[in-house]
Structures are given as C-alpha cells and as structure tokens.
Structure 1
Amino acid sequence: MHPLAIRHQARLEHRNGSSISSIAARLGLPYQTVRTWCRDDGAPDSQFTEDRCFRCRDSAPADHGQYSYLLGLYLGDGHLVTSAKVPVLRIYCTATYTDLLDQAEMAMLATLANRVQRIRQKGCVSLQSYSKHWTCHFPQAGAGKKHERKIELEAWQRAVVGGDPGMFLRGLFHSDGCRVLNRITKAGRTYEYPRYLFANESADILGLCGWALDLLGVAWRLNRRNSLSVARRDAVALLDEHVGPKS
C-alpha cells in the first residue's frame, strides 16, 4: 500500500473511533508516528497530489476500481468547483449512509486526495477535497449544471471504466440510484420483487449508465424520460454482485 494511503487509512480509523495505540499495533508502526498523523492537519495538499496525479504522469490510475467508483459518484451527486483559487471536489451523501460515506472518502483518498473534509449540512454530508489536479481527473467539469451541457467520457476514462464497469455502476447507483422492493397486484394477489432504479436529468449520464450495464450484460430499460430500470430477476441478481443496497 502507498505510504499516503496508509496514513489516510490510519486517520479514517481514528476518526471512526479506533485508538491510536490499536491502529499503530495493527499497522505495525510506532505509536508516535500514528499519533502525529492523526493529530496533525497534514501538510498542504499541493506537496503530494502533483506526484500522485496519474494524468500529469501520462499513466493510468493506481486503482481502476476506486477511480471508476469515484467517477460514478461525481457524475451522480458530485460537483467540482473550478472557480476557486484551488479547485475543490465535493461529493454529497445522505448522512445516514455511513458505509457509503466511508467508501466515498476512501475512493477520493485512493485516487488523489491528501485530505478529505466532512462538512455536515442539513440532511447530508459533503465530502470535499482541494487540489488543482482534480480537473485532470474529471474533465467533465464545467460551468452550469451537468444536464445542461454535454457529458462525455474521454478515451482514457472509457478504458478505465471498461476494465471495471461494476464499480462505475456502484458509484452511479450509490449517488442517483436505489434498490427498492416493487409491489404489484394482479387478480387480487400482491407480488413483490427487487428492482434497481437510476434517475438523472442528463440524457448523457443515463446513456453512460446504460453503456456500463451493457458491458456487464445486465438487461435494462428506460421507464421514464429521466430514469432507467433493472427489473428482471437475473439482471437484478447480477447487479447485486456489483452494487447492492445503500447502507
């Protein structure tokens, strides 16, 4: 594991309640080292992220799955502010989905971030990270809302997502999707079956979701202008292997 990733993991465990001594013992590191990591706000982001930016090195992300997951989250409930002196990536999550928050934070750390802040807002949490290199990773960023402009993946992004479409779909459904229990009544009898729904006002993002589902061989259909559905039993079972309910 990359040294920065070890430090990020230690900080996340400490934030979630683990003691410094237990973290140090698990990682096999000196107590003082872990204590410094967990109590220090960290060095400026620019000292680390330039070396970690795979686009500036003309290479691929170190973890295709984590980047694909983060890309799905960004296209769904993410926002990259480029007007500030240092761009800031924000991923919005419902506060009750604690596992999702941890997964999103780890994806940001594994992809580029040196630090991730959790900003509590009414009903949700904004995960945010500053770096001038987020724009390298998300060239889809631009002025205006996503559904009001063209959203296309670049060739290198398609190659990355094509290698792990399940994690991309996990990010999309964890942001703008859900797994629900559908109920229908026929001839006086009520039937229940699980179903995935993904809703987004951007036809381009809906198309990317459909493209990734096709890569996995998951049957889907548009059930509304701005929504697609995965309802066949075999299709739901296959998608369960990659997504599953939010938690």
Structure 2
Amino acid sequence: MNFHGTDVRQKAITLLRGGARNAEVARSLNVPLGTIGYWKHLDRAKRGECPGRHDPKCPRCDGRDLDEPAYSYLLGLYLGDGHISHYSEHRVPNLMITCTESWPGLMDACEAAMRAVFPANSTCRVRKTGCSNVKVYSKHLHCLFPQHGPGKKHERRIVLEPWQQGIVDAHPWEFIRGLIHSDGCRITNWTTRMVAGERKRYEYPRYFFTNVSEDIRRLYTDTLDTLGVEWKLYTRNGDPFNISVARKASVALMDAHVGPKY
C-alpha cells in the first residue's frame, strides 16, 4: 500500500481548488484517482460545500434559473451526437455528447455549456479511440431533454416542447451552432469555369448538415428559415439526408454566427 504525505495531499488540494481535474492531478502526482476524489470530497465537506446528499434544483421542477443560450446550444448537440443513459435503475442517468479528438475546442464548448446548464453537477470526459465522451450526471436530465426515449432518435418522433421552442426562438443561432457542431461541417467546394476562354478553378465555402431523422432535419431547416438562411436538400451517395447552405449571403451569415469546427 502506498502512503502519501501531507505535502502531496496539499499539492493535490491546491491544484483541485485551482480547477484542475481529478485525473490530471492523479497523473501529475502519481496518486490513485480514487484517492484524489476522496481528498477532494473531504476538502469540499470541510469548507461546507458538501452538506450531505442532496439533489441540485431543476429549472423545470424547482423553477431555478436556466442559462438559455447555453441550453439552446446543448440541445443542438444532444439532438445530433447526444445520448442519455444509465446502467441500472439505481444509477444517476448521464448525458453523453461524443466529440472527436480532432476538435478540442468543441469539447471545451460542450463542457462549458453543460456546466452552465447544470451548475451544481459535475462533468467529466471519458477518452475513447479517436473521440471523447463529455458527460454530466443529473436526475433531472429527462426533465430538460424530454425527447429521450427507447431506440434511436430517427426511429421515434422528435418534437420540441413549447418551452423548448421558446428558448430556440429566442436563441436560434446557438441552436444552429449546436446542430452544426454535432452533425454538420463547413467545407470548401470547388468547380471550374471558363473565363476569357480559359478554364479556371473556383472555390467556395459550403455548410452541410446530415441527420437521418426527418424531424431533426426539419427543426434545423425551420430555424434556418427564421434566420433568413437559404438551404437546399442535397442527395449524396443516394441518401437524401443532407441539408446544404451554399448561397454566398447565407454562408456569410453562418460564418458570422457558427463558423467551422475547431
């Protein structure tokens, strides 16, 4: 058994209070992750931050304030790459957003939105091959994401509740950004044109959103309509699941409010 002195424990507490993650502290100090979690719990309890078991308040059940821009963005992420699960009826359910390792900024934005929507709940990242699952645990996930249900999203009806639609109407670009960050992309297309008798290459940016669910695609295009963004249904490889935004003025609007993944 390894014993860790008070100096190591104090270094860990200092790092944790500074915002470092449990796993980062464990790696840097060569201390088991469970020990770091235990030290953090004792430190929070000592400072009165863990008065005992309690359920953080819910915007739907208890009427606490909800960060609506963050929620609109997180809702878009959830409809694209999100999933709510719990491994048994005794476990607290978790919202999991899968983000590829190629876009660390997206993971940061996702976690920031989770923290804003669930300020009293812990978040974490679980690394997988080529991606990370960004998670938040809460007993009230079903209150805030009533679209959850058995089976895949495209196999069931996806309709926003009136209160959700009100948030999307008030913060449409955050919703669009979440959808693009999950199931969309910004690419550069090219074609050739004859100019003064000479064929020249012409490049132009384009946004794509791809989702098998007709309901989710409709939520995306309905919101684009309210924002004045022109779009077209685009069949690619025989699949009519792609929404294209290619008009110059519309791409400029998307660039101003969404931009490429990072």
CA distances 1:5-48 after superposition (whole Å, capped 9, x unpaired): xxxxx879534xx99xxxxxxxxxxxxxxxx99x6257599735
How far residue 91 of structure 1 moved from its aligned partner, in angstroms, is 0.4
Alignment match, 1:238? 253
Alignment match, 1:66? 70
Superposition map of 1:8-157 within 5 A = 13-15=19-21, 40=40, 47-49=54-56, 51=57, 53-58=58-63, 61=66, 63-81=67-85, 84-85=88-89, 86-112=92-118, 114-157=121-164
CA distances 1:111-144 after superposition (whole Å, capped 9, x unpaired): 1251111000011000112111011000000000
Alignment match, 2:203? 192
State how far apart, in whole Å, the 2-side matches of 1:45 and 1:213 are. 46
Q: Is there any run of 5+ residues in structure 1 with no aligned partner, and where?
A: 1-9, 20-35
Asked which structure has the greater CA Rg, the reply is 2
State how far apart, in whole Å, the 1-side matches of 2:17 and 2:234 are. 43
> What SS does the aligned partner of 2:75 have?
helix
Higher deviation after alignment, 106-115 or 166-175: 106-115
Q: Is there any run of 5+ residues in structure 2 with no aligned partner, and where?
A: 1-15, 26-35, 45-49
> What SS does the aligned partner of 2:54 have?
helix
Residues 45 and 130 in structure 1, CA contact (< 8 A), matched pair in contact too: no
- Taking structure 1 as the reference length, the TM-score comes to 0.80
Residues 64 and 164 in structure 1, CA contact (< 8 A), matched pair in contact too: yes
Alignment match, 2:3? none
Q: 1:141 to 1:244 in 2, by over 3 A?
A: same
> What SS does the aligned partner of 2:62 have?
coil
Which amino acid in the other structure matches residue 117 of structure 1?
Answer: C
Alignment match, 1:183? 190
How far residue 190 of structure 1 moved from its aligned partner, in angstroms, is 1.4
Q: 1:45 to 1:165 in 2, by over 3 A?
A: farther
Alignment match, 1:5? none
- Taking structure 2 as the reference length, the TM-score comes to 0.76
State how far apart, in whole Å, the 2-side matches of 1:170 and 1:44 are. 38
Of structures 1 and 2, the one with the larger relative CO (CA 8 A, separation 6+) is 1
- Percent identical among aligned pairs is 48
Residues 45 and 131 in structure 1, CA contact (< 8 A), matched pair in contact too: no
> What SS does the aligned partner of 2:20 have?
helix
How far residue 87 of structure 1 moved from its aligned partner, in angstroms, is 1.3
- Of 162, 167, 173, the match for 2:169: 162
Residues 152 and 204 in structure 1, CA contact (< 8 A), matched pair in contact too: yes
CA distances 1:150-200 after superposition (whole Å, capped 9, x unpaired): 100010000001000000000000000000001112343211011100000
